[in-house]
Structure 1
Amino acid sequence: MKISSHNLALPLVITLSVLTSAVNAVWLDTNNDTTIFDATALLVQGTLDYYDGTKPGGTIGMFTSPYYWWEAGGAWGSLIDYGHFMQNDSLVPLIKQALLYQTGSGNNYIPLNQSTTEGNDDQGFWGIAVMGATERNFSNPPNDDQAWLTLSQAVFNTMAARWDVAECNGGLRWQIFQWNSGYDYKNSVSNGCLFHIGARLARYTGNDTYVDWAEKVWDWLVDVGFITTGDWWFVYDGAQIEVNCTNITKYQWTYNQGLMLSGCAYLYNYTQDDKWLNRTLNLLNGAQVFFNNNIMYEAACQPSNNCNNDQRSFKAYFSRFLGATSILVPQTYDTIRTWLVASSNAAAKSCSGGYDGHTCGLNWFNGTWDGYYGLGEQISALEVMQNLRVLDVPGPYTANDGGSSVGNPAAGYGAIQTNASPLTLNKGDIAGAGIITAIIGVSLVASGLWLII
């Protein structure tokens, strides 16, 4: 994911709010399923207004500029859950086309059109999307090489192969390729994606090798100080490698807290190990920093009105991760339900802007649209509302209770195996991944030089 200088909060847009009456706000009664269905349908419509893949000259799977590739992965994950929560399969062809088009030639979500700028976290969010497709028993692709579970495993395997012990005693760098800004930075979101996907793969496949990996990532994040485990359990942004990751950037983002919180919840649900329950409950307690009167907000940037396009979507993933946590660890349900209800009611009031009368804003506190608009605002409101229905539909499936996706524990390296096969990566696999990454990098540089010549 990249730092964006774009900010769509144009003064003119605020003026336009005068032209749209507040009575056009999304109507929501959190105890009435019909209003939840109707409200989320409007928000999906607004979300797809930003989609480029069906427009002349657009790219399948991508949303309009200035939204980066990673956020497209996040949005497709939101829409997969929308179909599941609302029992609505109308978007299946569109979502399926997008997820398969962007896999890249290696079927690991490093497509050529993104590989010069792609970060570990970018790949991770597409991995989370297809992990959602796996657990929701989403319509299976015709090609087993692109089965949802196989793609999830491919993302995990290629990310794990980049684990870097040379700097800061472990962890993933923010960026994949060394020519990108941020290659010298290790952050919680990249490592959190690896942890989170590993936790979900462990639960889905029953393969404890993924638990071992999740424990490894957790221990490193705590040891390096990116996760605090004192009175309050917070997840900090990251640190530069030049000083051995000691100069920690102490920004706290909703999605980082959510990645770790729900990852722990998946692991507790699978292992029933009390340490994962304790970690879940402590991270949930720390998550209070993102709520004011039980209404969610992005604490690091929203009060100062300087959230960039990336940050304006973080509440979407946080809402999704909270919803999953609440059913995986029932002890958390009451707290999370209180947050989701209050935040949904507030978000609905913010969805009263634009020419359509249901464009959503960033600030959910002021009872109306705040003049901000964009893909992030739409999916954030969508996610917080649709997660009100977590108890009304089946929870995330596993391979043993209804999941049907075909897996390959060595995805990206070997042949298709069954979805319950053990993970069998050896040093050769990991070395091979490094070689593949290097070859891709060299070939891209060579291609660029050829074009210049």
Structure 2
Amino acid sequence: MHLLFQIRTINLSVLLVSLALIPTNIQALDMDITNTESRNAGLALLAKGLMDYYNGDDYGETPGMFSSPYYWWEAGAAWNSMLDYWFYTGDETYNDVLKRSLLFQVGDDWDYMPSNQTTTEGNDDQGFWGITVMAAAEKNFTNPNDDEPQWLYLAQAVFNTMASRWDTQHCGGGLRWQIFTWNNGYNYKNTVSNGCLFNIAARLYRFTQNETYGEWAEKTWDWVETMGYINSSSDSWPVYDGGFISDNCTEVSALEWTYNTGLFLSGAAFMYNHTGDAKWLTRITHIWSRSTVFFLANSKIMYEAACQPTGRCNNDQRCFKAIFSRFLGHVCLLAPEMNDEIQTYLLASAQGVITSCSGGTDGHTCGLDWSQDGWDGMYGLGEQMSALELLLNTQVWTRPPPLTSDTGASSTGNGSAGTGYRTNTYVSNDITVTSKDRAGAGIITAVVIVLMLGVAWWMVV
């Protein structure tokens, strides 16, 4: 069953009236977000501020990577912000570098496991790049060339490789945090890794109508809830951080992060929009009821409750609000029953964002604490991402919802992507070895052996 998407004029009217209430005398960006020209000019400054942290195209650097100390996973999430920026403003300034970055990092097997991340990549790291290319398919971002992997293909490859790591030997299922045994956290099954799998599965289900993806979304949700990572014992459902396999994941860390909550809100919204099953709206409602913990009670301004009050948010955690804002936008579009209430909180936060983005030598560097009357002195990729995404997601009703293969999306894929070496129909780079090649290789090998024996004889003599 497919729910028809309709832009409800009453919602858009409520949005515009609420936006008009934001005062203009304290806007460091001189930005009126009810006016398209003024809004886009301000968003352009924030996007430029985000890209100021990008150095991947500099000599000796890696395309797609942001400057130290930002990790690979955050680069994937940041490119999603730049994708959203293009989608909501129409500004194509950064599209070439965005496309180039997404394709450079795919890895030899086209599954976002590049060699430069071989020793450190986790399931959640790979998952956020998969979420970004899934969004590229849903937004009809410019397709790669025919000899390159397509956006849908890449999302399917990430899903398949993640699903292949589903571990039933410990805690009855779920994904570990880390992919490789030598990394700290391999014995931890965290919510964000499983949330990424759930989110991608739900979106692939809606995009392709393939029931297998829907089954995986159900399976992942059920495991997370059964383990108590989503605590559904009351009307307000917190989403916790994870548990260790040493105690069968029974001692669940009660930390609550915005992006974990957002992953499940967004995935549930995609499931609700595609299936029409009321259980998904019920789940959204319960999790959202708890989500208000991430907004200050007196002002409704968003903050990272687990670390921001103590001033101990690390570089990763300082971008979580960007991801949360993006996922709240999904809920507004795909579960429109939730739109008015969620937008009330986003609009209150928007006022704080505009006031906060008044720092730095450029005058539009954004801070971490949006409740202060001005810039708080904090700055970084995460702060810039979060401010940009918050403002963008007050505009969700100005653009179409995520597309599917039935509603105009043009990206193509392959259900077997990621299950073998470049299992696709686009290109084959297999090397054909001829007799001449073998003969040449044999001569080279013989020469090398003779040289090695000569060196060994010289050392002995």
TM-score by length of 2: 0.84
For 1:8, the equivalent position in structure 2 comes to none
User: Which of 263-272 and 32-41 deviates more?
Assistant: 32-41
Indicate which of 228, 250, 256 corresponds to 1:252. 256
Indicate which of 227, 236, 242 corresponds to 2:240. 236
For 1:9, the equivalent position in structure 2 comes to none
The residue identity in structure 2 corresponding to 1:123 is Q
1:42-85 CA-partner distances (Å, limit 9, x unpaired): 01110011001222222100000000000000000010011001
Asked if 1 retains the 8 angstrom alpha-carbon contact of 2:27 and 2:354, the reply is no
For 2:271, the equivalent position in structure 1 comes to 267
For 1:432, the equivalent position in structure 2 comes to none
Indicate which of 380, 384, 406 corresponds to 2:386. 380
Asked if 1 retains the 8 angstrom alpha-carbon contact of 2:160 and 2:416, the reply is yes
CA distance in 2, matches of 1:249, 1:62: 31
For 2:458, the equivalent position in structure 1 comes to none
Asked if 1 retains the 8 angstrom alpha-carbon contact of 2:161 and 2:419, the reply is no
Indicate which of 226, 229, 241 corresponds to 2:229. 226
1:178 aligns with 2:181: yes
CA distance in 1, matches of 2:400, 2:94: 19
Q: How far 1:283 sits from its partner (Å)? A: 1.4
CA distance in 2, matches of 1:375, 1:287: 24
Indicate which of 28, 33, 45 corresponds to 2:48. 45
Asked if 1 retains the 8 angstrom alpha-carbon contact of 2:207 and 2:403, the reply is yes
CA distance in 2, matches of 1:143, 1:105: 17
For 2:34, the equivalent position in structure 1 comes to 31
1:416 aligns with 2:424: yes
The residue identity in structure 2 corresponding to 1:74 is A
The residue identity in structure 2 corresponding to 1:366 is Q
Asked if 2 retains the 8 angstrom alpha-carbon contact of 1:36 and 1:385, the reply is no
SS in 1 for 2:117: coil
CA distance in 2, matches of 1:226, 1:43: 35
Indicate which of 280, 284, 292 corresponds to 1:288. 292
SS in 2 for 1:131: helix
Q: How far 1:145 sits from its partner (Å)? A: 5.1
Please give the root-mean-square deviation of Cα atoms over the aligned residues, in Å.
Answer: 1.4
Q: How far 1:29 sits from its partner (Å)? A: 2.8
- 1:37-436 to structure 2, matched below 5 A, reads 37-143=40-146, 146-229=149-232, 230-292=234-296, 293-413=299-419, 415-416=423-424
CA distance in 2, matches of 1:145, 1:201: 20
Residue ranges of structure 1 left out of the alignment (5+ in a row)? 1-21, 419-453
Percent of pairs with identical residues? 55
CA distance in 1, matches of 2:148, 2:35: 42
CA distance in 2, matches of 1:383, 1:150: 26
CA distance in 2, matches of 1:87, 1:241: 46
CA distance in 2, matches of 1:284, 1:323: 13
CA distance in 1, matches of 2:170, 2:235: 29
Asked if 1 retains the 8 angstrom alpha-carbon contact of 2:202 and 2:271, the reply is yes
CA distance in 2, matches of 1:294, 1:29: 20
For the pair shown, the structure with the greater C-alpha radius of gyration is: 2
CA distance in 2, matches of 1:261, 1:363: 24
Q: How far 1:87 sits from its partner (Å)? A: 1.5
For 1:442, the equivalent position in structure 2 comes to none
CA distance in 2, matches of 1:393, 1:232: 31
CA distance in 2, matches of 1:379, 1:78: 7
SS in 2 for 1:401: coil
CA distance in 2, matches of 1:367, 1:165: 50
CA distance in 1, matches of 2:147, 2:242: 37
CA distance in 2, matches of 1:294, 1:35: 24
The residue identity in structure 2 corresponding to 1:191 is N
Q: How far 1:25 sits from its partner (Å)? A: 2.0
User: Which of 31-40 and 293-302 deviates more?
Assistant: 31-40
Q: Is the alpha carbon distance of 1:375 and 1:44 closer, same or farther for their aligned partners in structure 2, counting shifts above 3 Å?
A: same
Q: How far 1:417 sits from its partner (Å)? A: 6.5
Q: How far 1:23 sits from its partner (Å)? A: 7.3
The residue identity in structure 2 corresponding to 1:288 is T
SS in 2 for 1:186: strand
Higher relative contact order (CA 8 A, sep 6+): 1
Asked if 2 retains the 8 angstrom alpha-carbon contact of 1:316 and 1:376, the reply is yes
1:212-253 CA-partner distances (Å, limit 9, x unpaired): 000100000011110011221110001111000111111000
Asked if 2 retains the 8 angstrom alpha-carbon contact of 1:30 and 1:388, the reply is no
Q: How far 1:138 sits from its partner (Å)? A: 0.4
Q: How far 1:89 sits from its partner (Å)? A: 1.9
Q: How far 1:33 sits from its partner (Å)? A: 2.3
CA distance in 1, matches of 2:244, 2:425: 39
CA distance in 1, matches of 2:89, 2:342: 20
Q: How far 1:24 sits from its partner (Å)? A: 8.1
CA distance in 2, matches of 1:374, 1:268: 35
Q: Is the alpha carbon distance of 1:396 and 1:144 closer, same or farther for their aligned partners in structure 2, counting shifts above 3 Å?
A: farther
Q: How far 1:144 sits from its partner (Å)? A: 5.5
CA distance in 2, matches of 1:57, 1:403: 37
CA distance in 2, matches of 1:36, 1:202: 34
Q: How far 1:148 sits from its partner (Å)? A: 0.1
TM-score by length of 1: 0.86
CA distance in 2, matches of 1:149, 1:197: 11
1:300-357 CA-partner distances (Å, limit 9, x unpaired): 0001110000000000000000011101011010011111111111011111111101
Q: How far 1:416 sits from its partner (Å)? A: 3.2
